[in-house]
Amino acid sequence: MARLSLDDYAESADRAGSADRATGAAGAAGATGAEEGGVRIDDPGYLVGVPDEFQRLWTPHRMVYIQHGQQPGKDDCPFCVAPSMSDEDALIVARGKHAYALLNLFPYNSGHLLVCPYRHIAQYDEATPEEVAEIGSLTQTAMRVIREVSKNDGFNLGMNQGAIAGAGIAAHLHQHIVPRWAQDANFLPIIAKTKALPQLLGEVRAAIADAWPKDDA
C-alpha cells in the first residue's frame, strides 16, 4: 500500500471523514475509514494520540516469548550442568572452589566471559561472602588474562538481576565480562543486528585457559 506524508494524511482524512462526521456515523464508530487508491485513511481526529513519523511493526507472535520467556527450569540450568562437563565441552576457562568462569555461548565480543557460583542462586545478595570474594577474584584474573591475550582497551562488567532487567538465565547468578576495543564499533550491529566475531569459541577458550595462572585455577 502507498504511504502518505503527514500533510497528505490529514488532508485526505478530512475529505474522507467529512461525510461521516456530518451524519454522526464516525462518532458512533470511534473512527472513520475510507479506501482511496488502495490506501486506508483514518481520521486522526478520532484516534488516540497524534500522528508522528514512527512506523509500527505489529508482532503479536512475540506474545509467546513475552508470556513464557526463555528461562530454563532448575533441572535444565546450563550453569548447573556446565561444571559436570569437560572444560572443552562446557567452554570453562577456570574452576575455583565456589565459582567458575566460562565463555558466553552467545558472545557480544570475542572473549566474552561469565563468572558463576556453583550454587543455583539468582540474586547477588544471596551469595555468601566466600562466593562474592571468589567471583571478584575470578573477575580480576579474567580481566588480566583477556588483556594479555586479546590486547583489548577496556571492559564492560555487569550483572542483570532478574528477567525484567534482561537476564537471559535469571535463576542462576552470573557476571558478564565483555572485552572492548577502541576500533570494535562498526555498522553491522547497527543496521544488520549482526556481530562479527573473528575467533571460534574453542580457540578463544583454549587461549584464555592456557594463559590463566595455574595457581588461580
Helix axes 129-150, 201-211, angle to 10 degrees: 110
What residue type is assigned to position 36 of the chain?
A: E
Instruction: Specify whether the CB–CB gap between 142 and 135 falls below 8 A.
Output: no
Q: Which residue has the cell 544488520?
A: 192
Residues in Cβ contact with 4 at an 8 Å cutoff, skipping those fewer than 6 apart:
12, 39, 41
Q: Examine the residue annotation and report whether 172 is marked as an active-site residue of this protein.
A: no
What phi, psi does 93 have (nearest 5°)?
-105, -25
Distance CA 195, CA 50 (A): 36
Q: Which residue has the cell 490529514?
A: 10
Per the document, the length of the chain is 217
What phi, psi does 102 have (nearest 5°)?
-145, 160
Residues in Cβ contact with 210 at an 8 Å cutoff, skipping those fewer than 6 apart:
none
- Of the candidates 98, 112, 174, 176, the residue annotated as catalytic is 174
Distance CA 132, CA 115 (A): 11
Residues with catalytic annotation? Answer: 174
